[in-house]
A = this chain, B = another copy of it.
Amino acid sequence: MSNTSEDNITVRFVTENDKEGWQRLWKSYQDFYEVSFPDDLDDFNFGRFLDPNIKMWAAVAVESSSEKIIGMINFFNHMTTWDFKDKIYINDLYVDENSRVKGAGGKLIQFVYDEADKLGTPSVYWCTDESNHRAQLLYVKVGYKAPKILYKRKGY
């Protein structure tokens, strides 16, 4: 287990050089959710993250001592009929299994909050599996569970 303490973690937007590190976590994240996306979706996403005209971003948590990328968060902007301002949806959050002790997840979410404030769209939300209690240990500290449930079209 790497010696990762909170002040040894910095969070920043991805750059072109982070693709490999981001992809490693993006693959582990897919394993966790038991899904498997084509590699070119990685390229498509990473291209969107770096495109200043597309309101989709990714940030990484970096262990300062090793400069290793230990966490990733992908988020984007979308409209809502309930407000003039858009909202920010956190689509993916994943922290390396060996580095889940010192607040990387909380720092990644806070990074999104700060960016959302800068963008003038402070309303941030996300989904998680009902059964993911480990993640919810963090989520109840940084947010609150909305009394909502999700329905999908059959087959999707």
Contacts and interface: CB of A to CB of B under 8 A. Distances in A.
Interface string A120-135: 0011111111110000
Contacts of A66: none
28 contacts: A35-B82, A37-B82, A41-B82, A41-B84, A45-B81, A48-B79, A76-B79, A76-B81, A78-B78, A80-B91, A81-B91, A113-B153, A122-B156, A123-B156, A125-B151, A125-B152, A126-B150, A131-B147, A142-B153, A142-B154, A143-B152, A143-B153, A144-B151, A144-B154, A146-B151, A148-B149, A149-B150, A150-B150
B156 A149 contact: no
Interface residues of A, number: 48
A44 interface: yes
Interface of A: 35, 37, 41, 44-45, 48, 54, 56, 74, 76, 78-84, 89, 91-92, 113, 116, 122-131, 136, 139, 142-154, 156
Contact of A151 (B79, B122, B123, B126): B126
Contacts of A147: 129-131
B124 A156 contact: yes
Nearest to A129: B147
Given A78-B76, A78-B79, A91-B82, A152 B156 contact: no
